[in-house]
């Protein structure tokens, strides 16, 4: 296959052992070995490869030919791994194309980049102008822009600002016919013109429009009633008010579709002014019972973020304290150590709090944010919790470090065990948390595993990361059994099995816990409308025989060989 591709491909095509082993992993617990990895130099490479795959996919000598688009490979769902061709955008297609430029909307700017640009590089450009893409992830130092598009990523500021879908103005996308199309919001007239084209692109628009219109009632009913959801295809926001200039926006479907419908080659993001001043309030909870009511009382105060982590995360941070001190320098180290004194005191007097809540407020001046923090403290006085308003950014950073680094700490430190993300992104409405969390703990308690819980308390979205011993013969069955039970519980509370990390290989088989067969059939039809030949990232979102999306496939591909782990 390598030789044939090299005939028309300008970038490298690699199939050596080291490359294939590295690309067999993303940040999920699965291992799927590709046949070849390609690094496109430009969009011509992308289009030519898609055309070649479309023409040759049925050849007997090239079993299950397909393309899995990949950027930084930090996907936790197995969305960035596949059995055939991996197309890595991070080597060459990582440039700034234009901007930041002001838009007609005075409060927003736009910037256009290639998908392989890392967020950390993107942020340098935007922050230099006081601007930010506020849906950034906790993995922002690792991930790239195309992965955010692919997963409809979200983060600590999503509570107030929304997900990636809310920040994509326009994209250039290669469809499975091998042509690149501009995808942007259309007015009713624009849509009618598009549907009348009579070509592949026009057909896609027509069929998707009809499918959504014909099933309007069922689709509305099936919408998960949670603040954010990445499970299944995102069929809810494609069609808007018919008088609007944004009547029909195919990006609403493509963002979050994990490269199963189209491969993005250029993205124009909306970016907004960064906050001027912010301050963090830390709330220590020894009992989870009042959590739902507490969140309910905080949300009307419009915090910038409302995050949480549990006692196990805190214990890990204390245990591996010196990791946090690295790169801080002697003075920074001393300050950082002193800043932990209040926690040391709390631990000595009351033990570890069960949950630490971080509520951040932003505003135009220091006085303004201080006032907001004090308002909160006063409002929640009756809960009789310990509440601490941080004094400065350095102190706030201490809590953020623990929240953001919890997953990395787990990955590095617990000997003989490995992080196993499979129930890593559940979400239920915050008012259900007081009932939901004890039931969840009861399920997890049946298995003698270590796990941490951290997440977005304001949205009821929790990242549970168990540590598993992959040398044990029953690890695979525990993962399957536990996944089943936790997802049943999420379904009972009408939540979503993934708020932001997406379905990939690990969750696609469980979509039936959230959606009726009729909705799953709509997902299959969407896949067929775009990708009749199933050549784009098969086995994700819609199950396919042999190439993923089934429980059997997960079980077979759990990465027993953790030594081959591709550390991201
Ligand atoms: C420590 C850690 C913390 C994380 N925290 C968060 C978090 O807070 N919020 C969150 O949302 N996620 C989080 N994630 C998951 C992941 O980092 C994000 O989803 C991220 O945006 C993926 O970016 P990436 O560049 O690594 O994408 P990849 O892993 O390379 O790809 C992600 C998906 O997008 C598809 N894709 C890639 N390139 C393209 C393209 N050009 N066209 C179409 N599809 C494409 C891939 O096929 C894949 O399905 C975390 C992961 C880790 C390891």
539 pocket-lining for ligand 1 (C-beta < 6 Å): no
Q: What is the mean pLDDT of residues 108-123?
A: 98
* Nearest atom within ligand 1 for CA of residue 265: 41
- Identify which of 37, 50, 80 to mutate to test ligand 1's pocket (most ligand atoms within 8 A of the CB): 80
152 pocket-lining for ligand 1 (C-beta < 6 Å): no
- Identify which of 122, 153, 257, 463 to mutate to test ligand 1's pocket (most ligand atoms within 8 A of the CB): 153
pLDDT top residue among 111 and 62: 111
CA angle 299/302/303 to nearest 5° reads 90
Calculate how far, in angstroms, residue 519's C-alpha sits from the geometric centre of ligand 1. Answer: 25
260 pocket-lining for ligand 1 (C-beta < 6 Å): no
Percentage with pLDDT > 90 across the chain? 74
Q: Report residue 297 CA to chain centroid gap.
A: 27
* Nearest atom within ligand 1 for CA of residue 540: 49
pLDDT top residue among 53 and 347: 53
Nearest CA to ligand 1 atom 37: 70
pLDDT score, position 566: 39
- For residue 463, pLDDT over 70 is answered with yes
Q: What is the mean pLDDT of residues 489-502?
A: 96
- Identify which of 22, 24, 75 to mutate to test ligand 1's pocket (most ligand atoms within 8 A of the CB): 75
Q: What is the mean pLDDT of residues 1-21?
A: 97
Q: What is the mean pLDDT of residues 280-309?
A: 92
Instruction: Find out whether the peptide bond into 100 is cis, omega within 30 degrees of 0.
Output: yes
Q: Whole-angstrom Cα distance, residue 405 to residue 412?
A: 11
DSSP for residue 173:
E
**Residues 306/455, Cβ–Cβ less than 8 Å:** no
- For residue 530, pLDDT over 50 is answered with yes
- For residue 332, name the pLDDT band (cuts at 50, 70, 90): low
- Identify which of 11, 32, 71, 568 to mutate to test ligand 1's pocket (most ligand atoms within 8 A of the CB): 71
> Which residue(s) pair with 131 in the sheet?
273
143 pocket-lining for ligand 1 (C-beta < 6 Å): yes
pLDDT score, position 303: 97
Nearest CA to ligand 1 atom 34: 150
144 pocket-lining for ligand 1 (C-beta < 6 Å): yes
Q: Whole-angstrom Cα distance, residue 276 to residue 281?
A: 17
Per-residue pLDDT of 340-378, as tens digits, reads 666 666 666 767 788 999 999 999 999 999 999 999 999
- Identify which of 32, 85, 139, 547 to mutate to test ligand 1's pocket (most ligand atoms within 8 A of the CB): 139
- For residue 507, name the pLDDT band (cuts at 50, 70, 90): very high
- For residue 21, pLDDT over 50 is answered with yes
* Secondary structure (DSSP) of 214-259: HTHHHHHHH---SS---SS---SSSB--TTSTTSB-THHHHTTSTT
pLDDT score, position 329: 60
Calculate how far, in angstroms, residue 296's C-alpha sits from the geometric centre of ligand 1. Answer: 30
* Nearest atom within ligand 1 for CA of residue 89: 41
- For residue 564, name the pLDDT band (cuts at 50, 70, 90): very low
Calculate how far, in angstroms, residue 74's C-alpha sits from the geometric centre of ligand 1. Answer: 5
**Residues 46/64, Cβ–Cβ less than 8 Å:** no
- For residue 563, name the pLDDT band (cuts at 50, 70, 90): very low
Q: What is the mean pLDDT of residues 315-327?
A: 66
Give the CA distances from residue 94 to residues 120, 138, 529, 567, in Å, rounded to whole numbers and listed in that order.
12, 20, 30, 21
**HEC assignment per residue over 284-318:** EECCCCCHHHHHHHHHHHCCCEEEEEEHHHHHHHH
Q: Whole-angstrom Cα distance, residue 504 to residue 541?
A: 7
Write down the number of H helices and E strands in the chain: 22, 18
- Arithmetic mean of pLDDT over the chain: 91
Percentage with pLDDT > 70 across the chain? 91
Calculate how far, in angstroms, residue 194's C-alpha sits from the geometric centre of ligand 1. Answer: 31
Radius of gyration of the chain (CA): 23
Calculate how far, in angstroms, residue 568's C-alpha sits from the geometric centre of ligand 1. Answer: 11
Calculate how far, in angstroms, residue 137's C-alpha sits from the geometric centre of ligand 1. Answer: 9
Q: Whole-angstrom Cα distance, residue 121 to residue 95?
A: 10
Strands (E), 320-449: 355-363, 386-389, 418-419, 426-427
Q: What is the mean pLDDT of residues 172-185?
A: 98
pLDDT top residue among 508 and 417: 508
Q: What is the mean pLDDT of residues 498-508?
A: 97
- For residue 562, pLDDT over 60 is answered with no
pLDDT score, position 337: 60
Q: Whole-angstrom Cα distance, residue 557 to residue 496?
A: 24
147 pocket-lining for ligand 1 (C-beta < 6 Å): yes
Q: What is the mean pLDDT of residues 206-216?
A: 98
Q: Whole-angstrom Cα distance, residue 53 to residue 209?
A: 27
Q: Whole-angstrom Cα distance, residue 461 to residue 432?
A: 12
* Nearest atom within ligand 1 for CA of residue 163: 11
Say what the pTM is.
0.94
Cβ neighbour number for residue 105 with a 10 Å cutoff = 10
Nearest CA to ligand 1 atom 27: 147
């Amino acid at each position: 296959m390598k030789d044939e591709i090299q005939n028309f491909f300008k970038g490298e095509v690699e199939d050596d052992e080291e490359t294939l082993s590295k690309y067999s992993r993303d940040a999920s617990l699965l291992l799927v070995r590709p046949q070849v990895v390609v690094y496109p130099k430009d969009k011509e490479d992308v289009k030519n490869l898609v055309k070649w795959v479309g023409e040759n996919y049925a050849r007997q000598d090239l079993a299950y030919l397909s393309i899995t688009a990949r950027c930084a490979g930090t996907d936790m769902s197995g969305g960035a791994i596949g059995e055939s061709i991996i197309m890595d955008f991070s080597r060459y297609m990582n440039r700034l194309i234009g901007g930041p430029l002001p838009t007609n909307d005075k409060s927003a700017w736009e910037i256009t980049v290639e998908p392989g640009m890392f967020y950390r590089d993107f942020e340098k450009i935007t922050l230099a102008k006081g601007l930010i893409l506020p849906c950034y992830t906790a993995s922002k130092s690792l991930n790239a822009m195309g992965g955010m598009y692919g997963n409809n990523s979200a983060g600590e500021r999503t509570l107030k600002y929304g997900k990636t879908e809310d920040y994509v103005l326009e994209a250039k996308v290669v469809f499975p016919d091998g042509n690149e199309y501009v995808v942007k919001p259309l007015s009713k007239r624009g849509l009618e013109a598009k549907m009348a084209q009579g070509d592949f692109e026009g057909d896609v628009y027509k069929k998707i429009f009809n499918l959504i219109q014909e099933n309007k009632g069922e689709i509305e009913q099936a919408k998960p009633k949670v603040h954010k959801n990445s499970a299944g295809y995102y069929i809810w926001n494609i069609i808007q008010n018919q008088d609007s200039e944004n009547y029909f926006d195919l990006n609403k479907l493509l963002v979050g579709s994990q490269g199963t419908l189209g491969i993005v080659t250029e993205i124009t993001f909306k970016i907004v002014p960064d906050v001027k001043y912010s301050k963090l309030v830390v709330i220590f909870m020894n009992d989870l019972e009042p959590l739902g009511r507490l969140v309910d009382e905080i949300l009307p105060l419009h915090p910038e973020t409302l995050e949480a982590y549990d006692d196990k995360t805190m214990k890990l941070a204390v245990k591996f304290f010196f990791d946090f001190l690295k790169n801080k320098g002697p003075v920074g180290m001393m300050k950082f150590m002193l800043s932990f004194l209040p926690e040391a005191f709390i631990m000595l007097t009351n033990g570890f709090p069960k949950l630490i809540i971080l509520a951040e407020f932003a505003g135009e001046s220091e006085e303004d944010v201080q006032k907001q923090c004090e308002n909160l403290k006063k409002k929640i006085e009756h809960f009789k919790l310990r509440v601490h308003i941080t004094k400065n950014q350095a102190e706030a950073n201490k809590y953020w470090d623990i929240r953001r680094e919890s997953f990395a700490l787990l990955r590095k430190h617990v000997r003989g065990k490995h992080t196993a993300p499979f129930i890593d992104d559940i979400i239920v409405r915050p008012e259900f948390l007081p009932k939901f969390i004890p039931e969840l703990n009861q399920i997890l308690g049946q298995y003698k595993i270590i796990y941490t819980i951290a997440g977005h308390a304001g949205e009821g979205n929790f990242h549970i990361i168990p540590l598993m011993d992959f040398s044990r013969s029953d690890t695979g069955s525990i993962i399957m059994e536990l996944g089943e039970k936790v997802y049943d519980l999420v379904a009972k509370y009408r939540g979503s099995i993934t708020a932001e990390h997406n379905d990939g290989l690990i969750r696609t088989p469980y979509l039936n816990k959230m959606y009726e067969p009729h909705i799953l059939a709509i997902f299959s039809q969407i896949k067929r409308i775009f990708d009749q030949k199933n050549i784009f990232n098969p086995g994700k979102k819609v199950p396919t025989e042999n190439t993923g999306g089934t429980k059997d496939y997960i079980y077979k591909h759990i990465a027993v060989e953790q030594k081959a782990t591709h550390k991201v």
